[in-house]
Amino acid sequence: MKRLFVLMVLCLGLACCGTAQSSGFTSLGNEEFAKVIQKKKTQLVDVRTPKEYAEGHLPKAINLDVNNKSFETIAEEKLNKRKPVAVYCRSGKRSKIAATKLSAQGYTVYELDRGILHWDGEVVK
């Protein structure tokens, strides 16, 4: 009985914990992210600084620095809410922030979980 109770508490805890999907966006590993960005309608966004972007980015990515005070306004100007948005950064921290902000604005957002540091696809320099 005690084990059943512990199991139920664990399951409930896992169900209630904040996952990326409950935050309004979906975090993906490399393989799944690669599939999403191959779709023509997906808007690919690098949320790092312009300097980091210039050092290397995914092909066809646009740069919208999430640390820019006007990030949400610029996103409204450059992105289409009817199309999915795929975001990434260096390690995954800033992309989660950007994904949360964009999701709150009504975008469908996919985020590269561990960032470009762990990306095994093509990078443009």
Catalytic residues, by residue number, are 89
Spatial distance between the Cα atoms of 116 and 110, rounded to a whole number of angstroms: 14
Spatial distance between the Cα atoms of 92 and 98, rounded to a whole number of angstroms: 10
Return the HEC string of 24-52.
CEEEECHHHHHHHHHCCCCEEEECCCHHH
3-class state of residue 22 by DSSP: helix
